[in-house]
Structure 1
Amino acid sequence: MDTAARLLRLLSLLQSRQQWDGADLAARLGITPRTVRRDVTRLRSLGYPIEAEAGIGGGYRLGPGGRLPPLLLEDEEAVAVAVGLRVATTTTVSGVEQAAISALAKLHQVLPVRLREQVAAIGAQVAQFPQGDLPTVDGEVLVTLATGCRDIEGIRFRYRTHGGAESERSVEPLRIVHTGRRWYLVARDRDRQAWRTFRVDRIADPVLTGQRYQFDDPPDPVALVAEGTGVAPWDIVARVRVHAGADTVARFLPPGQAVVEPIDATTCELRLAANELGPLVAQIVRIYWPFEVLGPPELRAAVHIHGQRLLDS
């Protein structure tokens, strides 16, 4: 392997995981640790910020900043990236559409013909289901929130409620959850001393505070969003005991449609919600497994009437 090819291979390895031991790099490249050190020096001279730490637990890692290293992709990875960029051209995150189109054009220029044909075939045969009028999320807001989650750093922002009222919030972010239609930030509200979900499209001017924190017992962010979007806003909350495992039932009713809580290995409880009995009855009669409607009483009566109607038919 000549020097140029070896340097590209070294960059590829440094991109593939957070840190490498020098001996592992040498073994992968078929060279000596001394040659690894010389190659790292060459890459640094070209502007790549490669950090090194000696001793036990040390090694080499690609640091932030500097020049963007060449992205080396396998065939399957290149096709996956191209298809993902096509999907991103219709995203609800502002600013991403044009960036995705630009990146897709650059990738298209360097794709081998055989891969370009694969991407074109997928694009020609795939149609995206219309999403309706969905709120747009500011890309820079999303990046700031994601940075706070990653770095465990507090954030301040202005928040607009459903009614239009605005307030200043100081939070400790845990995770961003995308439901397929909307983006939510799950965070601990410092002033209210409680966990909250915030619609990202209603967040403005987020600022990282520099304050670090630790969570003793954080909630499941997906479950919290499911509760906040699938149950809390509605007038009628149904409770149904289902004689099947929670994991099995959750695959049938994903987050956003219902909250699934295990009782034991073979039984779970569903909570579904709506503003009228009709939609709840329609959901409940689709359950595959034996079940019991625990409440409210008027829903139990409506399910019995529906069942009798089916028998009579």
Structure 2
Amino acid sequence: MTKPMHTADRVMLLMALIPYLKEHGPTTVNDLAVTFHVEPGILRKLVRFLGVAGVPGETLTYQHEDLFDIDWDALEQDDIVHLTQTVAVDDTPRFSSRETVALMAGLQVLQTVLPEPMRSSAERAAEKLARVEPVTDGSAGLSLSAASPDERITLLASAIAQHKQLRFEYRSVSGDVTERTVDPLTLRQRGDPWYLLAHCHDRNDSRTFLADGIRSPVVLADDAE
């Protein structure tokens, strides 16, 4: 007796079926059944459902271009599944410049704390994201290279994630230069500038540091308190 397929399993199968058909083209039901380890009868029902499924358009109604479509004659006469129209899966994500930089910075921080092979996956994702053309939103001066827009931000975020102390030289807005050892707490961005909120051991108090004023930051082996 065939084990019943739950709704979640059907959804996962449909999500896998669409890219497979886009890559391999028209495929017989039996071949798909073998590939996805499912009964041919269940697969036919899912394909028929796919032929009337879609994503509502801007008017929140379904037009022909908002629906998947299949070659019904090929299915009924030759038992072949042929997608003739797909929706949504062809859409390319669009990010603003600020969103792209934030995602890339986050991925680069993850590279410092993730084990292999997850670290390599994060690195590849950052490289792919760097090739995405952002939506123009007036965010001038934001780097979209595979490297961090500011290596200091990546290092500071890494120290926060690892709960490690930081040591750096700090140049205040008045021009004074001091050496600080801190427990980094969080990073915040106000407009374009980044700020590090931390407990400063040299002042024995909480301080907010402008990231642009931080020079030669080093992550220490000591754990942050």
Normalising by structure 2, report the TM-score.
0.41
Higher relative contact order (CA 8 A, sep 6+): 2
Normalising by structure 1, report the TM-score.
0.30
